[in-house]
Chains A and B, each alone.
Chain A
Amino acid sequence: MTQPDPDKMLWMYETMLVIRHYEETLAQVYLEGKLPPNIQKGLAFDIASGPVPGEMHLSAGQEPVAVGVCAHLTDADTVVGTHRPHHFAIAKGVPLPQMTAEIFGKVTGLGRGKGGHMHLFDLPHRFSCSGIVGASMPPACGAALAAKMTGSGAVAVAFFGEGAANQGAFHESLNLAALWMLPVVFVCEDNRWAISVAKEKATSVASNARRAVAYGIEGVEVDHNDALAVFQAAGPAIRKAREGGGPTLIEVKTDRYMGHFQGDAEVYRSKAEVPSLRQHDPIRVLEASMRRQGDLDDVAVERLRTRAQAQVTTAFEFARASAYPAAEEALQHVFA
């Protein structure tokens, strides 16, 4: 098992801090203008109000999947994320200010405010995502096909949730990728919840890694929500893809601390679940391990936290200060 070198380990830790702090900030900002309840209008929660309209899906708890995989990638590699995309985007290097501006619907955003939080497109970092469950896999196959045909040596990673594995896109993509030996790695985030339906009520097998085997693809299970374990599983898969060895599917058991969306009453799971999950928070787990090895001390932790907070603060300030697109922009950019 290859351990990340200290620099990489530090990057993983710091990136998880940024992601968590980013999402905690976003969770607060999201409530601006939505709460307190607007009783007069009969609303408990006005989803359209405030600086961040629409649905909001946060990934707190799932950071290990993003950093453990993206630690092996370069700007030339493609990542296609899900409707819960921030941890992937940040780990892939999508600039925080433009991403935040997009989430605010501002003209300085990645998509000039036309995509919003589920539709982040960052060409220089080859990052995209989709609001449609299961839809990340076919385009990732296409990016991998392009890499193969041009001999660029790049790989593509499709992240998806365990609920998406019951979509036709999953099965078609696995077959195509195996058939054409595409340099693609499929990474399943198994947080056990397809919105409100538990995995055991929706999926006929315990592990999607086993489904991969049926398509002639190596299936790897990472059974604990640990950045180092993900890093160790992803490394060989990405190397194999880069060297022409074809696709791999990695399924990571991970934890969704938040509801499916912000405002989700979470009637489908016990109130005790999240506090129990948080006892093994992956950021603290990595921190403890790095402290044991002498790679991290109080001073460094404080410095990294301050730096993460400053980055996030700058991004939100940029987004707030940015202008909205002009009205006529609504009619522009249908075509390139």
Chain B
Amino acid sequence: MTQRKLTMAQAIAEAIGQEMERDPRVFAMGEDIGIYGGIFSATSGLLERFGPERIRDTPISETAFIGAATGAAAAGMRPIAELMFVDFFGVCMDQIYNHLAKNTYMSGGALKLPVVLTTAIGGGYGDAAQHSQCLYSTFAHMPGLKVVVPSNAYDAKGLMIQAIRDDNPVLYMFHKGIMGLPWMQYHEGATTEVPTDAYTLPFGQAAVVREGRHVTIVTLSQMVHKAMLAARTLAAEGIEVEIIDLRTLVPLDTATVLRSVAKTGRLLVVDEDYLNFGLSGEIAAVVAEHLDDIELKAPVRRLGVPAVPIPYSPALEPQVIPSINRIAEVCRALVDAKLKAAA
């Protein structure tokens, strides 16, 4: 199998194209996915290959086309529906959380809804509060949706093919800042060697992307790359950080998290979603529930967006989105911290 470097956007488009070739039931629809190739290039070049019937530009009518994806899936198709920014999901939330996510359960498992919803997440480029959210915890919170959040091109392709072949609704969320777009600064680590052939990556298997013995960082998406850069700095100071890329939130690989925290005794969750009631709390709770088996050397720490909308000003946005420096600082503090002796 030959390999070459692809951006995450190219890897996603390649995955969709290969699955559309393999299975005539697969088709894509969404806003600007045709001649434009998707605002974030996730469907780039597919219109030319598959034509407007299978690469279908939609009106800006999210309720209609997301609902239509559910209906088409119920009728035997395997739609991929792109809804540009996750921030826009509110306009069609009913079709997502009352129908797409619940109808399999309410049919007693009889109804399969193999829909892939793709969308862009994340900030850091001055697009403010309605175009910069992550919101993956919102969807992971609601039963019935699988939630995939890749951090690099290799994972992006394998997870996309897995998502298309899954018989369930999958929310596939890609961070704009790692897609490799020519109009946006991005982290090189997300552009990787990708095999030309089709392959799948199973859901529910986190990746240990860096091994270390002092602190475990649990994170995902763009924050994986920020954590890697922080880890490089910390290594020079003698602090070895282990980094876990969750890759999917539903299903969630708690075993890999617990194994790593048991090894390092220290946990930092780095999350670009809101801190309150979200992923970081979930991971912390999973560890807390296993304290009979895990000996912590320091309190659990969390870095996430505090309970504020993402601000616009370049003076403000970096204050709320976890930065490389802040990740490094918290790790240093963790290594110095001590659990109080039990009373």
Chain B residues near A112 (CB-CB < 8 A):
108-109
Chain B residues near A123 (CB-CB < 8 A):
107, 110-111
Q: Are A113 and B110 in contact (CB under 8 A)?
A: no
Chain B residues bordering chain A, tally (CB within 8 A):
44
Least distance between B313 CB and chain A CB atoms (Å): 33
Q: Are B67 and A128 in contact (CB under 8 A)?
A: no
Least distance between B187 CB and chain A CB atoms (Å): 32
Instruction: Find the residue from B53, B75, B94, B112 having the highest chain A CB count within 10 A.
Output: B75
Which of the segments B1-9, B57-65, B326-334 contacts the partner chain?
B57-65
Q: Mark B19-37, 1 if CB is under 8 A from A, else 0.
A: 0000000010000000000
Chain A residues near B73 (CB-CB < 8 A):
142
Which of the segments A6-14, A114-122, A203-211, A222-230 contacts the partner chain?
A114-122
Q: Does A262 contact B (CB under 8 A)?
A: no
Query: Among the listed B53, B69, B71, B105, which residue makes an inter-chain contact with A333, where contact means beta carbons less than 8 Å apart?
Result: B105
Report the separation of the CA atoms of residues A80 and B111 in the bound assembly, to the nearest whole angstrom. Answer: 14
71-111 of chain B: CB within 8 A of chain A? 71-77, 79, 91, 94-95, 98-99, 103-111
How many cross-chain pairs have Cβ atoms below 8 Å apart between A and B?
Answer: 154
* Chain A: CB-nearest residue to B65: A176
Which of the segments A165-173, A283-291, A298-306 contacts the partner chain?
A165-173
Q: Are B110 and A121 in contact (CB under 8 A)?
A: yes
Chain A residues near B112 (CB-CB < 8 A):
336
Query: Among the listed B53, B103, B106, which residue makes an inter-chain contact with A149, where contact means beta carbons less than 8 Å apart?
Result: B53
Q: Does B168 contact A (CB under 8 A)?
A: yes
- Contacts A121-B110, A145-B71, A173-B64: A132 and B144 contacting too (C-beta < 8 A)? no
Report the separation of the CA atoms of residues A144 and B146 in the bound assembly, to the nearest whole angstrom. Answer: 26
Q: Does A233 contact B (CB under 8 A)?
A: no
By a beta-carbon cutoff of 8 Å, the part of chain B in contact with chain A is: 27, 53-54, 58-59, 61-77, 79, 91, 94-95, 98-99, 103-113, 143-144, 146, 167-168
For this complex, 24 residue pairs linking A to B, each with C-beta atoms less than 8 Å apart, are: A109-B108, A111-B107, A111-B110, A121-B107, A126-B75, A132-B94, A135-B67, A138-B66, A138-B70, A142-B72, A143-B74, A145-B72, A145-B77, A146-B71, A146-B77, A149-B77, A172-B63, A176-B68, A333-B105, A334-B144, A335-B144, A335-B167, A336-B113, A336-B168
| Those 8 A-B pairs whose CB atoms lie nearest each other, nearest first | A138-B67, A142-B71, A112-B108, A139-B71, A333-B109, A142-B68, A172-B64, A121-B107
